[in-house]
Structure 1
Amino acid sequence: MSTLVLVKLAAHHGIPEDVVLAETGLTAAGLRAADAEVLARQELRAIENLLAAVPDSDTAGLEAGLNYHLTTYGIWGFAMISASTFRESIDVGLRYLDLTFTFAPIRAEEQGSNLTLILEEEPSLPAGVARFVVQRDAAAIQTLQRETLGWPANPRAVAFRHTGEPGLVDRYRSVFGVTPEFDAPRNLVILDADILDTPLPQANEHTAAMTQQMCADLVDARRSRSGLAGRVRDIVVAQLRPPPSLPDVAAVLHMSPRTLRRHLANEGTTLRQLIDEVRSALAAELVTGGRLTVAEIARRLGYVEVSSFSQAFRRWYGVSPRAFRDR
């Protein structure tokens, strides 16, 4: 669905499908198959192709984000829109963020009357691609907020780490309703926390329970790795204090780090992502088990600082470990 959005955006600018899909190994017909799957590296290549072809590449991410609707995200979107309140919708969205297309992990911080969504850039991405995916996700947050609430709601403030060209500021303002801060320390979308407990117009208790269970099942299925990624995951499970490095894992598997990295990329993952998956799954089990303190769980999962574990847990599940345990 995400790559199809890119293809349709290109078509709007008169760019043929094969230009966007060049060197991705994908075809337009294949993308439209109901069971089609796209690897991260394939979508990133499609983004690079799109940026090279569109005339307004500096704001192409904004245009893309406006086309990512709740229905674009499948069951994840239905889980969000059927939640009882806007707060629950955000919690569900962050808890199952792995089911989205984001390349910028998102975490939330609530303080006073502000709910701040922090978009963390993947450091390995080229600068142009990183700007695109952050713009896309920030604009998509705006789109999803309006569709979830059922009425237009602008963020209180928006900030980007990248530079905003003077002639393009109006484009940002037309999308967000506010003028963003550029060259900021972090990418932020700040929402009005006063609307968090607003009941959602399409809330449905039965649908919410069903779709959230489906999201949980999908996440579990994706984390049940096979092939080389499954072997690497087993190595990570056996050694989390501290987590193994790429050379460590490569030595166990009798291959070079470069070869290991390439094979994992072919399976659509990285060592960093696998470590994150293992920690996420074990963290939920250990927290709900109730026998260990948060500090003990953090140490068991290889975190030096409890605060780092707490931040990671919020990114995975949208709430603190203690709030998760109290559910």
Structure 2
Amino acid sequence: MARNATNELLQKAKKSKSDEFYTQLSDIESELQHYKSHFYNKIVYCNCDDPRISNFFKYFASNFKKLGLKKLIAACYREQVRDLFNPEEDKNGFFFEYTGAEGEKNEPGSTDIVSFNGDGDFRSSESIELLKQSDIVVTNPPFSLFREYVAQLVKYNKKFLIIGNINAITYKEIFKLIKENKAWLGINLGRGISGFIVPDHYELYGTEARVDSSGDRIVSPNNCLWLTNLDTSKRHEDIVLTKKYFGHEDEYPKYDNYDGININRTQDIPSDFKGYMGVPITFLHKFNPDQFEIVKFRKGNDERDLSINGKCPYFRILIKNKRI
């Protein structure tokens, strides 16, 4: 059954700056199993996570010794509200550090929590100090602040594994990182991310929205991805090319404004074409940088959207086969 309408929910969240989508433990386990070798003797920072309820914190705390972690830090934002009816500020943001020492609790109580002086926003100086200490950042950052969030990780040269909307691929800042081989898509995409826990005030949109056996309210957008700069062997697997261009030229129309051919599906990439090819953005999920070169995104030589007979297909990524 199609997952519909939940994109509308994410759009509402973007407009209202409401970013309360919490990742399920099953989705974290499904993705993290591919990166275990990266975490030995590393400090992991989950900087958008309440350690008392975060499934990211739960995963790393319960697998602390198995992964060989050095330290785990989780930090939580708390909105500061002050008005005529609430003259006092709400509680500050806070964080919790876990080192796996003997006798140390991996489920923080109120006495184990350390309060920030401010709200704990990932952009705050206090949170940045914790970021500087860390090696790898793993979390579900605010969708509405995704560009800014990734820019901070790049600025401080951090390894990361984070969740975002598939549309993030189209952001020029994110695409630039992908083109320069400084970031790439993780293992799971779309339906590979089974859904997010949302609070009670969120409307349950979509045919697959549900309340699970634990009472958690779940929405399944089918339009999210993992973005990372942690390498995996799967990323270097070739796309098997079974199609031919020569003899089937009519199946690969040329662009009006770029010397290249249009391809509607990744599986239709021909094995015998050495020129430029426009492929859908979903190609990035199977992209092997050893096999293909990313040349450009979306625009032709005139810097207008790629077109065929005056019509523009959905966003295309221009690529070239390195092996021909």
TM-score (norm 2): 0.27
The structure with more radius of gyration: 2
Which structure has more strand as a fraction of its residues? 2
Higher RCO, Cα 8 Å, sep 6+: 1
